[in-house]
Chain A
Amino acid sequence: DSGVTQTPKHLITATGQRVTLRCSPRSGDLSVYWYQQSLDQGLQFLIQYYNGEERAKGNILERFSAQQFPDLHSELNLSSLELGDSALYFCASSVGPDYTGELFFGEGSRLTVL
């Protein structure tokens, strides 16, 4: 158990819909990272928050947004969903703001768009 909690574990929805994925980081970790894992794209970095502020942005679509709340949990919002958004979405957390420390990954939220 990494200490990172993601909900829901599985989600099935239709094209055009909007979903919210939730992540609770390990106790004491200030950074939250979101990754998308798909068969054709591999592991893609989406976005990072550190202590409530956006710190780095990766290949995140404009239809996607995220935020980190004062209690440090984070939500990833995916809207106007397309078939190609079907993937496993991972949240990870770390103590510091950069990648020199270990990232702890949740078990992921599997999104299926029909």
Chain B
Amino acid sequence: AQSVTQPDIHITVSEGASLELRCNYSYGATPYLFWYVQSPGQGLQLLLKYFSGDTLVQGIKGFEAEFKRSQSSFNLRKPSVHWGDAAEYFCAVVPDTDKLIFGTGTRLQVFP
């Protein structure tokens, strides 16, 4: 079945540590790929997106993501996490232009 998987429900890191949030998808062709962030009490905000071209994508707030076709993955990374990054992160996939499928989200907690 077509799906978007974020295997980590909850991740805790120390401030200043590096971060990687995982996202895998199961669609036949390469879909459009997105990462959104939802801060407490807020709506979702786009961090970055991948349509084609360079598989390493830079986003806002110091985030980047790498598309790996062979692994059907689009993992989000940040070299040094700040306490303000505590939020819920959603991977989303557009398998065709008429659908946007969100993963179940990963809640990030940051300790000082």
Residues of A within 8 A of B (CB): 2, 4, 42-43, 45, 56, 90, 92, 98-100, 102-103, 105-108
Check A42–B105 contact: CB distance below 8 A. Answer: yes
Closest Cβ of chain B to A95, distance in Å, is 13
Task: Assess whether A100 is in contact with B46, with CB atoms less than 8 Å apart.
Answer: no
Query: A residues within 8 A CB of B105?
Result: 42-43
Q: List 15 A-B contacts (CB under 8 A).
A: A2-B43, A2-B45, A42-B105, A43-B90, A56-B98, A56-B99, A92-B43, A98-B97, A98-B98, A99-B100, A102-B49, A103-B44, A103-B100, A105-B36, A106-B43
Beta-carbon nearest neighbor of B101 in chain A: A45
Tell me the bound Cα distance from A104 to B94 in angstroms: 16
Q: How many A-B residue pairs have CB under 8 A?
A: 44
Determine the chain B residues whose CB is within 8 A of the CB of A4 once the complex forms: 43
Identify the B interface with A (CB < 8 A): 32, 36, 41-46, 49, 51, 90, 94, 97-100, 102-105
Chain A residues, Cβ within 8 Å of B98? 56, 98-99
Cβ contact within 8 Å between B100 and A42: no
* Bound CA span A72–B99, Å: 21
Minimum Cβ distance to chain B for residue A9 (Å)? 9
B44's closest neighbor in chain A, by CB? A105
Please give the distance in Å from A34's CB to the nearest CB on chain B.
Answer: 12
Q: Are B41 and A99 closer than 8 Å at their CB atoms? A: no
Q: Is the CB of A90 within 8 A of B44?
A: yes
Q: How far is the CA of A102 from the CA of B51 in the complex (A)?
A: 12
Q: Determine the distance from Cα of A107 to Cα of B104 in the docked complex, in whole angstroms.
A: 19
Cβ of B33 to closest chain A Cβ, rounded Å: 11
CB-defined contacts of B44 to chain A, threshold 8 Å? 90, 92, 103, 105
Is the beta-carbon distance between A107 and B42 smaller than 8 angstroms? yes
B93 to chain A, nearest CB (A): 10
**Are A100 and B51 in contact (CB-based, < 8 A)?**
yes
| Residue numbers in B under 8 Å from A105 (CB-CB) | 36, 43-45
